[in-house]
Amino acid sequence: MNTQRIKLLAFFILFTGMITAQKNTISKPAIIPQPTEVKWKEGSFQLPERAVICYNEGAKQSAAWLQQLLSNTYVESYSMTGSNCMGFSLELNEDLQDKLGNEGYELEITKNTVFLKAATDTGLFYAVQTLRQMFPSEIEKRQINDPIKLPQVKITDSPRFEWRGSMIDIARSFFGPEYLKKHLDRMALYKLNKLHLHLTDDQGWRIEMKSKPKLTELGGKSAVKNGRSGFLTQEEYKELQEYAKARNITIIPEIDMPGHIYAALMAYPELNCEEFSNLEPRLATPPQLYHEYTVGWSKLCLEKPEIYDFVSEIIAELSEITTGEYIHIGGDEIDDERYEEFVVKADSIVRENGKTTIGWEEVTQAPVNLDFISQRWNGKTESVVDVRIIESICTNFYFDHANVPGQEKTNNWCQERGVSLDDAYNFNPDNPNVIGVEAPIWSELITSDDMADNRLWPRTIATAEIGWTPQESKDFSNFKERLGQHGDRLDYLDVKFFKSPDVEWNLEEGEGVFSGFMPENE
Ligand code: TNX
């Protein structure tokens, strides 16, 4: 063979080799939120047909989550206490607290074992969620019987903020336990840890109060027009909290006071002033129900001392049935000379019941206790107290606003063009008082589960990344790529998400053939 032929042949061999190598190299799994530190290694770990999950004391719950994940694969797993077995090893170790904090974890995949380590059960749970995102997305829906290969990797991860929340207004239009549980499942996948329920407003009262049964007997029947009515029984509320807690999520109940409260004023007319002077403009008169959109027209009769008996009773009963440490007292959009006095009293009632008070930012016009947490939404309040802040500024976190300009049935009062994925992602909460972020949906115009899915997702995933990932590791184009890779997963989870036009969604239904995730060469 002459040299030219040899060169050609060499080129041919190299070229076909390159093609085969490329076929075996599947892009890295897309992890959201982006972990603090990821080191991909050469090689993979092919899950065996039988595996042992070893765990130490305290890690049993997370071992069960892992086992549940594996139950959707061909892997037959059994779990036992112990350490360093081949397969899966979970270690809860308090000495890791300094390094990883309350929610951080380490996840290491070697050639034959997955190691999950954390100082807390929560950290281990998050390690399992990250691992879950490395499995083929079909796992969310059906059993995978083809070989699964995980890339070798070492991840060290912990959140930027302790508060990573979502809020659903279930007062204007009711969303019941079934939807809320689905929402909790989806939140957990993205390491969100607070679900705030806006339980009461002019159009409805959604939580059973045994001391004031008419609140739900009457207030549970109304809703915004076209919206659903209903309410959570105390049993359902308790069960929902347990379901949330198992997923490391705290439920935050909100009773909006002293405004946004017509549903209660209708059920207990004695909470009104003479001649309903507290309803201004009078958009409904008890016992009429209210179905319209206008806000800011109702309030408790603040000059009547009896309203404080009502407030005390409600807060005491709600505190009794609430397992989390927070009660949200609302406090938004009201004009009354006794407003500040009310807020200070309501705050102290909450604290007497052993809870931490949260309120919309207006509340910080009043000299509340310094344990108070303010939820910022329009940034207009001149605060007289230096307190912790949850960032929900409407330009970036109000997901009842349009995904894209002109989307039907969306609000636009905060920002005409809506809240784009870019807006939802590119916000840096840099005020030192900020303890985290929360994205609300108000439900005057969101009257079905599919609509809620469309407004919440994928923007809530952007909120999750703001809440978790260090600012310097955030990158919008990289986020969009990873998000696109989650298209299938969201589909398999039956999320009717908005297909943001600036994301390349990976939506093809898998053919049932899975050849594994292998790290790309870096
Ligand atoms: C303002 S922002 C509200 C809600 C409404 C929302 C949408 C805030 C704290 N309160 O009562 O539902 O606008 O119209």
Binding site membership of 262 for ligand 1 (Cβ less than 6 Å):
no
Residue 320: CB atoms within 10 Å: 11
Average pLDDT of the chain to the nearest whole number: 93
Binding site membership of 449 for ligand 1 (Cβ less than 6 Å):
no
Ligand 1: residue of 256, 393, 442 to mutate (most ligand atoms within 8 A of CB) is 442
Contact 291, 255 (CB under 8 A): no
- Reply yes or no on whether the pLDDT at 8 is more than 70: no
Residue 521: its pLDDT value, please?
A: 30
Residue 514: its pLDDT value, please?
A: 34
Residue 96: its pLDDT value, please?
A: 98
Ligand 1: residue of 295, 328, 401 to mutate (most ligand atoms within 8 A of CB) is 295
What kind of fold does domain 28-157 have according to CATH? Chitobiase; domain 2 (3.30.379)
Residue nearest to ligand 1 atom 13, measured at CA: 442
pLDDT for 369-427, tens place per residue?
A: 999 999 999 999 999 999 999 999 999 999 999 999 999 999 999 999 999 999 999 99
What kind of fold does domain 163-485 have according to CATH? TIM Barrel (3.20.20)
Q: Which atom of ligand 1 is nearest to the CA of 377?
A: 2
Residue 7: its pLDDT value, please?
A: 58
At residue 158, φ and ψ (nearest 5 deg) are -155, 155
Binding site membership of 298 for ligand 1 (Cβ less than 6 Å):
no
- Reply yes or no on whether the pLDDT at 520 is more than 60: no
Name the residue type at position 50: R
Binding site membership of 377 for ligand 1 (Cβ less than 6 Å):
yes
Report residue 149 as tokens.
């290969």
CB-based contacts of 288-292 (< 8 A; 24+ apart in sequence) = 289/218, 289/221, 289/222, 290/202, 290/203, 290/222, 290/262, 290/263, 290/266, 291/203, 291/222, 291/223, 291/224, 291/225, 291/227, 292/224, 292/225
Mean pLDDT of 351-371: 98
Single out the residue of 232, 282, 278 nearest to residue 258, CA to CA: 278
Q: How far apart are CA 265 and CA 299, in angstroms?
A: 8
Residue 168: its pLDDT value, please?
A: 99
**pLDDT classification of 27: cutoffs 50, 70, 90:** low
Q: How far apart are CA 332 and CA 256, in angstroms?
A: 8
Percent of residues, the chain, with pLDDT higher than 90 = 91
**pLDDT classification of 28: cutoffs 50, 70, 90:** confident
Report residue 356 as tokens.
């931490």
Mean pLDDT of 261-290: 98
Crossing angle (nearest 10°) for helices 459-468 and 177-189? 50
Stronger pLDDT, 9 or 178, i.e. the higher one: 178
The residues, ordered by sequence, that sit 6+ positions from 325 with a Cβ below 8 Å of its Cβ are 250, 355, 356
Residue nearest to ligand 1 atom 6, measured at CA: 442
Note if the bond before 159 is cis, omega within 30 degrees: no
Q: Which atom of ligand 1 is nearest to the CA of 360?
A: 9
Mean pLDDT of 84-91: 90
Residue nearest to ligand 1 atom 5, measured at CA: 442
Mean pLDDT of 56-75: 96
Binding site membership of 361 for ligand 1 (Cβ less than 6 Å):
no
Q: How far apart are CA 326 and CA 319, in angstroms?
A: 9
At residue 208, φ and ψ (nearest 5 deg) are -65, 130
- Reply yes or no on whether the pLDDT at 94 is more than 80: yes
Write down the domain spans for the chain.
28-157, 163-485
